[in-house]
Structure 1
């Protein structure tokens, strides 16, 4: 027999399951290994081709990694273990590593072997095989290229954090999940898919595609995937696409909805007439509703209000897209690039010891960005770039915080109190409405200064006072209703007693 050159690792594809699908090159490599009495390492011997191979090549020495499937409790390390063992063996002598299907189609272990081999200086060679895709698509009467089908390894899906699943899967296009090799993995796959699909969504488990009479397509709702023992080493799960308006947990659905609402001529008349200017008030309203949910510590409400605020982002982006100003992709690009750029201690090589250093780096990077944009950073005011649409108390405290860096600050708390009393006296002396307006503004500015000196957020403090007043007054209203009296009938002394009762009632709760 003519010797066949063998690389340090020769990776052979067995095809989907029938001996008729084994390529001539794969047969030659395996026959050479049998002739040389070389041990061949199979990822798994649970494959219909293995027994016929043993009969055809009785001298073929086979070892498999099936033990790892039973021993491993961690899906994320299973294929890594296999790859490490394969490369360790290859450093001792050339080996043949055999996998089902085509080595480069749906074979995570092969990708890990190739990655490790490159790092460890091990040469590799791929011997192609017919992949599982062709017979699976044959059974499903599906052209994967026409429908843009996604293909993902079951193990990779199983180890995805639940929050990452929606980023890996687009449920509005067909999905094929390969290597669903046992019931335990089927259970993990089901849980992952539950993030994007309804429990009742119909799926198809394709078994032994390309293996003659063993072929089967089992239809079931998603929730039944792990309630049987149908999954095995020759199983592929096919998940049909959901309608565009059914994938409610995905950003793409919101993008589709906003485009559909503003589409001519069959969109929503109200949405179509909105502009950046007309939507400004809703951005402000939704922002404050998010803050309110945060203050109430209502997580269900917060999730809803964040969605309403996100809608404003998508609406403005769609208005801009239609006007050829920018697209939603530009929004994502700006924020992603900015976060990467401003966190070199996370995404780069910069090292920091604490959050103060993070803030210092952040400010330095922002200054560099402005300089690159043509801003004369040497002649900038420290009060520049404070949005004037921000609530006035927040603007006041931000101004005060910035000027402190220049040394413009009171020396003591007593000085702040003295200035506050001075401003209060000037209000008393103000003779005209214009003077009163100005002096009350000065007083409020100094109240913000006092709050900052005491490390108190003035805006938050006022919102807290507002909530406290609302709670007490609404309690007074309830007490008045119990007494069957209108609030307008109470005298000043009665008001004071009612207020005290309201405070006591709230405190007791």
Structure 2
């Protein structure tokens, strides 16, 4: 025999406020049912819809008793579902829920997948419609996320928002939201935004008020018609990294230029962006040296430029990561994880049991650990030959300083590399420059060693001196 068709259960929305918001279709369904079941009588339009159903000869009851007898909300909702399934099997039943049936309705979600009933849903305005109007917000444009107050700490964790938090019907729920956002903002180093409380929307005593975050749970007496708007918080690193990865993926798909790029074709751009970022770093450093109190009038623009240039450099890293991911080599996430784990390994004085009392000890330990991790026999392996000459010399000298052998500094003091007249660790005679270029090179190497002993970046020092000379020449013309 064919299976019996499950009984129909009509689910209607009570709208967001009083009877003015009840659609005609909802009234029609209530007028022709044998039984009207209200999820709760605590709703401004419940009494009006119940009176309409009774006038047409229907019975009316509510499910409020389940809130009182169940130990948890989940148990109450399960009991309501069983109650409704039984009623629908006996007679034509109309089930009325606050707002709209498909917005934040746990019982409707359960009934939709229950094979014992067939649902007919009759929509009504929800509190969302009134909230967008009261806030003057287009939820799609703003990217608002709807979150239940009871789930906020878990569902919204690490997300930048904005959020519309529904079902804030208890002071404890508002307090939990307040504490969660305050904690996230503290970690991000920013102040929490003002919240907007939405209370009794669509009713004569409607309240839409912006309140300081510390006052969030002390400004109104919340009930089942209270919600909260949380403006956009400070963006988290994880969310912004994910957005950038998705953007790069889309560019590789839709942009003809990005689609044609390879690791080789992008190499000049990576170098250019690195130098532009370096120039922006040095500009900020110069202004801070001139005015350590950070009151220099040019500093805000320089900081803004630095942020932009660092972003351009990160984009190059993300783009190379995308190219690698397309070949199945590694992903953006792999790059981030690898540098994180390497930094942990290279800082045992922070994350392990070792100690270091100075920056010099940290730098020397770093080089020693690199040699061990990479299994290098050549202490200078991995130093890019494309580095500018001064930067390359400084790196070679730093590597030499980390070797167990004692090397005399080209500058003449204890230090980092052999000078033109100093013997090596074996006592062998040094090689001497036989031409002017060699002599200049050895002199430059000695200056780089001196810069290292003085804690000066020779590359930056030469660029700064060149810039000063250039400025002097330009002013004198």
Q: TM-score, normalised by structure 2?
A: 0.48
Q: TM-score, normalised by structure 1?
A: 0.46
